[in-house]
Each structure stands twice: as structure tokens, then as C-alpha cells.
Amino acid sequence: MSPRLFHDSQYDWSRTVDSFWETGRGALAPVDAPTLSSDETADVAIIGGGYCGLSAAYHLARAGIDACVLEAGDIGWGASGRNGGFCCTGASWLGPEELVDAYGESEMLAFYRAQIESVRLVDDLAAEERIDIARQGDGIWTFAHKANRFADFVSHVAVLARLGVPARTLSAREFEASAFACSEQFGAQFEPTGFGLNPLAYCLGLARAARARGARVHAASRVTAWRKEGDVHRLVTAGASVRAKRVVVAANGWLPEDLHPTFVGRVLPLLSNIITTRPLSDDELRAQAWKTEAPASNTRNRLAYLRMLPDRRLLFGGRGDTSGRPSGGAAMKALLVRRMGEMFPAFAGVEVTHSWRGFIAATTRLTPALGELPDDPSVSFAFGCHGNGVAFMTWAGRELASRIAGTAGALPAPLRGLPDPFPLPSLRLWQLRALLLRAWFEDEFR
């Protein structure tokens, strides 16, 4: 069994995540997702009940393929129920020029096209399945934390224009007039593809839709062993097992490296932390010239991401600590509170009602990974959405379902197959610390 990288508390699937979204779970329609208690068979067994696994189950069921989802915690326990609710592009940490250098222009455009399609897919699913996702805004802001970062927007806007998305850049004055005042902004870009949502409401709605189409969904059913018996996979839980001819691994930052040796070292999990404030007053919002409902993030490598929620709470997030210990969570909360006050002086000292964290997942190539294992094509996978999984993982689940059904086209090259593993996988946290130190240096001095 591969050792866990972070503190054991980050893998306690019985623990309720203390997120703002979780406090509203009781007001959302429940999901019929009983713990697996007797042996079952399926065409496809899916490890992970987040956006990717549920989207795969939903689309498999629509294609008449029997799918069974096994989730270790409650539905939405992982990143799919606790993220910031940004439905947008941005599933890679490579810019357009870097993607062209690595894969060529046509493949870069195909990758961008898939990401744009992924945002529209979430909108379409929510409408078709009548999922109330608490949709907010009609676009996404990215603002420059230094004057020299404004140039980064030009190539991104140009690529989107080629694909029919009328993104635009704004000066610092124009951004403040359109969005909000901030002590750290030197202009921005606006991408009219994307919006905010309630991530847990969307995840639970996707689970209900998958169930309604005929998929089986089991919560509190962590896979503890995975055996191959002839041409059939057996996934074992504490209470029973599922036998299936195909398996989909859809666990992203919680990739089950202990279950299959091929996945060891394939992702670098990073903690991302979020705080939410109490509802803000008219005077407080006016003091920051707040006008937008669209989510926003800045250009720091250790980015800040934020959005004003429907009840006028500010959600404010950033990258987390490198241990996962409870003390690290407390320290990150304090840091986010301080950074929020520095960027938005009118909100300094405002009560923070919730603070939580969870994993995002990066790969060595800085793009997502999607496909089948080269030595066993009966095992499909998708992981490494680099902190933008609401839309992309929904699309990835549909893509995996299409590939299993035999109806998929060619994948964009940046997504194809397994990424190289990280060197010396057991030392990934030290690699992460080095990367974060480099990110801080570049943010401050370049």
C-alpha cells in the first residue's frame, strides 16, 4: 500500500467537511445512495462519486450500459462538493504558447474547444435535468496582480476569439468600474464563458439524474481492494463487492494509489483553502465598489480566487499548506483572512463563518489525463484538472462513457493517456514545497 502523503485527517471519509456548502446540504433534495451491503455485478464499476464519476454513470446509463458508482464518503464529500463553485475553463497550468510548443496549434485549439464545450455541458445538464445550481454571473474575471502580468491576457483572449468567444481585456479603471475595487489589480480580462454555482447542489443533482437514468450509486462504500479475476474486475468494500468487466477511476486528488500500482505517483495533490464571510452590508459592498456576480481570480501562481455569493457573503480562496494537519488549516485560515483584508480593506475584520480545504490535482505535464491504461484497456481514468474541475470533470465523465460505448472521437493531444509519474513519488511533498517557494518568488519578484 502506498503511504498517504498528507495527514490522515484528509482521508477520513466519515468526517463531515465543515464547508459553507455542507451547511446547506439538508435543504437540498437527497440522493438515494445506500452503502453497498451485498455483492453486485455491473458492466462498469466507477470509483469516485464526484462530477467525473457521476457524469460517466449518467452518460453510460443513457447509452444503456449498466453502471455502478462507489463513493468512499457522502456524495459530494470530495472536491466536487467543497470547491469554490467556478464553472469555467482553465484545466491546465500551461498557456496557449506553451501548449502550441508541446502539442501544435491544432491540438491546442482542440483542447480549448473541449474546455469551452465543458462549460456549456454543465449548463445543458442543469437545464435538462432541472438541477437548481444557483447559477451566478455570465463570465469569469481574471485580474493582474502586477502591471507586467496584464500581457498574459492577450494570447488567451486571442485564442478564445478564434473559437468564437468574445473575451476582452480591461484597464484597471475599467475593471473597477465593471467589477470591484481592489488594492492589487492592474487590469483584467473578462471571459464570457463561465459562471458561479453551488458545487454541492450540482453534484447531488448529477447523482439524482444518474440514478433516475438507471445507474446505481453507493455512498460510504470505499474500495479497499481491487482484484482481477480472469477478465473481470472485483472491487471490494467493507460490506461487499462489485464485479465488472470495466472500471472507471474518477478520484482526482484522492487517486487510489494503494489500489493499483500504475497510478502511483501520477498526481501531485495540493491543498486549496476557502473561507466565507458573514453576509456583507450595503455600505461594505459600496466601499469596495462591488458590482459583479461573476467569479474572479488573480494572476498569482499562489492565486486568490473569490466570488460574491447570493446572500452577499464573500467566498475567498487560495492555495493551502503542505502537511494537511489541523494546525495547517488554522494557519491558512489566518493567512486568507489577512490577504482578504489587504486586498479589500472594507472587509478587514469581517467575521469569517466557515473555513475548509481539500485537494486539487496536478500532473507532471500540467494538463489533465484521460484514457485507458496501456496494459489494460478495461480500466479508464480521468484526473489532474488543476483546480478547475466543475466543468472539465463533467466533460471527462461524458468522454469516458463515450469511449466505453464506442462512440467517442479523438481526444485532444494534451489530454491523451497517462502522464509521467513524479520522480521519487514518496518525496512529492518536498517537491511541492519547492514548487510553492518558486511560485512565491515569481509572484513577488518577477
Read off the C-alpha cell for 46: 466507477
- Which residues, in sequence order, are bridge partners of residue 357? 273
In a domain, 238, yes or no: yes
Residue-wise pLDDT tens digits, 317-352: 998 889 999 999 999 999 999 999 999 999 999 999
What CATH number is given to the structural domain containing 212?
A: 3.50.50.60
In a domain, 6, yes or no: no
Nearest to 331 by CA among 341, 323, 316, 321: 321
What is the number of domains present in the chain?
1
In a domain, 108, yes or no: yes
Please state, rounded to an integer, the average pLDDT across all residues of the chain. Answer: 96
Q: What is the pLDDT of residue 1?
A: 42
Residue holding cell 442543469? 126
In the predicted structure, residue 259 carries a pLDDT above the cut 90: yes
Q: Give SS3 for 404.
A: helix
In a domain, 325, yes or no: yes
Q: What is the pLDDT of residue 319?
A: 85
In the predicted structure, residue 365 carries a pLDDT above the cut 50: yes
In a domain, 445, yes or no: no
Check: CB of residue 384 under 8 Å from CB of residue 419. yes
In a domain, 196, yes or no: yes
Residues 6+ apart with CB under 8 A from 105: none
Residue-wise pLDDT tens digits, 287-317: 999 999 999 999 998 789 999 999 999 999 9
In a domain, 383, yes or no: yes
Q: What is d(CA 288, CA 182) in angstroms, rounded to the nearest whole number?
A: 7
Which strand (E) or helix (H) includes residue 246?
strand 241-249
In the predicted structure, residue 436 carries a pLDDT above the cut 90: no
Q: What is d(CA 210, CA 367) in angstroms, rounded to the nearest whole number?
A: 28
Residue-wise pLDDT tens digits, 27-44: 999 999 999 999 999 999
Q: Which residues span the domain enclosing 52?
A: 16-439
Q: What is the pLDDT of residue 442?
A: 80
In a domain, 380, yes or no: yes
The mean pLDDT of 3-18, rounded to a whole number, is 92
In the predicted structure, residue 4 carries a pLDDT above the cut 90: no
Q: What is d(CA 52, CA 392) in angstroms, rounded to the nearest whole number?
A: 8
The mean pLDDT of 98-102, rounded to a whole number, is 97
* Residue 248 to residues 45, 52, 199, 224, 422, Cα–Cα distance (Å): 6, 9, 22, 15, 22
